């Protein structure tokens, strides 16, 4: 029985590095956060300085631990969760990166992916990795570093360099270069890993000409990767998972059919599909869910490009609201959106429609349309888009939907959550602790070292915050969804007739 009182979670995100300490009851006892610079060398390019990733993460950890007076002797294990897909290459002897990290958002390799499609590999990528070929994933970024950074290819071929996503890099730094490893969830976002055979994919490694000596060992997400002396004595690093999979685990979506949705700037939905890797023809991704060993579980993943960003647009561009939080009362001040539908397809539509040339569309305006109705229609669009993903997942998996678990900034909006329940005809569960990403990383690490005895204990720790039950008649639900479908049709027609 592990007697130390805390688990430390490192949450290495796209704009900041955070650290949270959890106690045995799953409560947050300390937290610290450090932002770090985004580097935009050219339009569409996004980089991070690996030293800044490491320093910000280290400082956040030291600060959070210090605020509790917790040293290594109080910390049972460390769990890591991270921005996914972001790609780093460093020297195995010195730990020195060969260039900045290429961030998941970076579009510099978009043409390389077009070439991959032209070369007829899209179907192989889908079948082996569960992904739709895209520059987001690590493969083309790693190929770019090998091909474009002077001298790198030769050094890699001599076995001198290591590749990793952010989790690997942190594990490497934390263990002083002793461990080069990653977990299934992060590996499954590289577009180089076969999610069925659980091996790096030879066809893709050959296609991108990637030396095998660069690749990390892959382990379950809950696993003792090594130990670190970061806080004095040795602490096991016992968990690692990509942010969305960590959130799925943190939401205790352990059973097939359990789904979580994160309402952040964009929206991310993952559904646990159990030991079956469900294929989707609607552009959903198939990915590995976080686990602690044994047969791997899979998840379906889909994203909404513009979710909370539509609320920011109301505030910053249209200036219809003072704050995101104000939308709740404004929405409640009118009985409905007065027939307005806002489709915030500002940068095209993702799953399940895939219409890159779609743009934002507003339908149903009348002379009497009010600010409150317009705001409400925009907030409602978050729920409609989420519902479209949910419907696609239900269809692909054939699994009944038990409930939708939510987190992320906009999940604080009670009006939106009730509307989601109504429109989806499903209960919405919002946990008290919406820091589900960090909790997921902590949970994986805590299970791996016996700090928590099993998943049952995690479920017991889970404090239900609020539950929203569907409250509108079925006919009304169908009517509203019909209106949304027509509005989508307008947005798609605008794109296709252009």
Please report, as ranges, the residues that interact with ligand ADP according to CB under 6 A.
Answer: 264-265, 308-309, 311-312, 324-325, 327-328, 408-410, 412-413
Q: ∠ at Cα 16 (143, 148), nearest 5°?
A: 15
Closest CA to 100 of 110, 90, 115, 112: 90
In this structure, are strands 28-35 and 16-22 parallel, antiparallel, or unpaired?
Answer: antiparallel
Cβ nearer to ligand ADP, comparing 286 with 413 = 413
Please, what is the minimum distance in Å from the beta carbon of residue 48 to ligand ADP? 16
| CB of 146 closer than 8 Å to CB of 153 | yes
Q: What's the gap between Cα 338 and its chain centre?
A: 34
Q: Report the distance separating Cα 232 and Cα 71, nearest Å.
A: 7
- If the CB atoms of residues 324 and 490 are measured against ligand ADP, the closer one turns out to be 324
> Toward ligand ADP, which CB reaches closer, 154 or 325?
325
Q: Which is nearer to ligand ADP, 227 or 413 (CB)?
A: 413
Give the Cβ contact number of residue 159 at 10 Å: 12
Nearest approach, Cβ of residue 131 and ligand ADP (Å): 21
Helix, strand, coil percentages for the chain (3-state, nearest 5): 40, 25, 40
Q: Which is nearer to ligand ADP, 186 or 381 (CB)?
A: 381
* Dist. CA 79–CA 220, nearest whole Å: 13
Q: Determine how many CB atoms are found less than 10 A away from the CB of residue 314.
A: 22
CB of 382 to ligand ADP, least distance (A): 7
Report, in Å, the least distance between residue 384 CB and ligand ADP. 14
Query: In the complex with ligand ADP, which residue's Cβ is closer, 310 or 492?
Result: 310
Minimum distance, C-beta of residue 322 to ligand ADP, in the bound complex (Å):
12
- The residue among 153, 174, 165, 155 whose CA lies nearest residue 218 is 165
DSSP string, 451-463: SS--HHHHHHH--
- Tell me the closest approach of the beta carbon of residue 17 to ligand ADP, in angstroms: 13
Q: How far is the CB of 243 from ligand ADP (least distance, A)?
A: 9
Q: Which residue's CB is nearer to ligand ADP, number 305 or number 494?
A: 305
Nearest to 352 by CA among 257, 284, 424, 423: 284
CA nearest neighbour of 167 among 100, 83, 255: 83
In the complex, minimum distance from the CB of residue 20 to ligand ADP, in angstroms, rounded to a whole number: 15
Provide the minimum distance between the beta carbon of 440 and ligand ADP in the complex, in angstroms, as a whole number: 15
Nearer to ligand ADP, 46 or 210 (CB): 46
Nearest residue (beta carbon) to ligand ADP: 409
Residue closer to ligand ADP (CB basis): 33 or 328: 328
Sign, Cα dihedral of 232, 238, 240, 244: negative
Q: Tell the residue number behind the tokens 């993702």, with chain if given.
A: 350
DSSP letter string, 432-444: S---HHHHHHHHH
């Amino acid at each position: 029985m592990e007697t130390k009182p805390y688990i430390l979670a490192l949450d290495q995100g796209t704009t900041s590095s955070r650290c949270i300490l959890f106690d045995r009851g799953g409560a947050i006892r300390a937290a610290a956060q450090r932002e770090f610079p985004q580097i935009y060398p050219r339009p569409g390019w996004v980089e991070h300085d690996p030293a800044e990733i490491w320093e910000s993460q280290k400082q956040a950890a030291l600060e959070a631990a210090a605020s509790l007076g917790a040293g290594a002797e109080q910390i049972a294990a460390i769990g890591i969760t991270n921005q996914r897909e972001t790609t780093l290459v460093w020297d195995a002897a010195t730990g020195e990166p060969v260039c900045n990290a290429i961030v998941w958002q970076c579009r510099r390799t978009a043409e390389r992916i077009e070439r991959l499609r032209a070369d007829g590999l899209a179907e192989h990528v889908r079948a082996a990795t569960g992904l739709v070929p895209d520059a987001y994933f690590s493969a083309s970024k790693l190929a770019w570093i090998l091909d474009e950074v002077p001298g790198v290819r030769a050094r890699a071929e001599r076995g001198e360099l290591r590749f990793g996503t952010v989790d690997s890099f942190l594990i490497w730094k934390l263990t002083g270069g002793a461990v080069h490893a990653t977990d299934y969830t992060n590996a499954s976002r590289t577009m180089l890993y076969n999610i069925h055979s659980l091996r790096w994919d030879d066809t893709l490694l050959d296609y991108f000409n990637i030396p095998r000596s660069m690749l990390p060992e892959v382990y379950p997400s809950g696993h003792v990767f090594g130990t670190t002396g970061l806080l004095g004595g040795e602490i096991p690093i016992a968990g690692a998972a990509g942010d969305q999979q960590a959130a799925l685990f943190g939401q205790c979506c352990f059973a097939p059919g359990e789904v979580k949705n994160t309402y952040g700037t964009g929206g991310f939905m993952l559904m646990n599909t159990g030991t079956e890797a469900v294929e989707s023809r609607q552009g959903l991704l198939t990915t590995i869910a976080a686990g602690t060993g044994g047969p791997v579980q899979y998840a379906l993943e889909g994203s909404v490009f513009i979710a909370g960003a539509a609320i920011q647009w109301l505030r910053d561009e249209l200036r219809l609201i003072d704050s995101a939080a104000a939308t709740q009362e404004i929405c409640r001040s009118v009985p409905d959106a007065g027939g307005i539908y806002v489709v915030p397809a500002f940068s095209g539509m993702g799953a399940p429609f895939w219409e890159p040339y779609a743009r934002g569309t507003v339908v149903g305006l009348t002379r009497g349309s009010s600010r409150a109705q317009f705001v409400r229609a925009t907030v409602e669009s978050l729920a409609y888009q989420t519902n479209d993903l949910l419907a696609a997942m239900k269809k692909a998996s054939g699994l009944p939907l038990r409930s939708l678990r939510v987190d992320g900034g906009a999940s604080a909006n009670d009006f939106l959550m009730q509307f989601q329940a109504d429109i989806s005809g499903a209960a919405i569960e919002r946990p008290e602790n919406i820091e589900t990403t960090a909790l997921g990383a902590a949970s994986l690490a805590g299970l791996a070292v016996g700090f928590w005895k099993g998943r049952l204990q995690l479920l017991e720790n889970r404090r239900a915050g609020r539950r929203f039950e569907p409250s509108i008649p079925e006919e009304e639900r169908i009517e509203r969804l019909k209106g949304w479908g027509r509005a989508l049709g307008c947005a798609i027609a605008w794109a296709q007739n252009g």
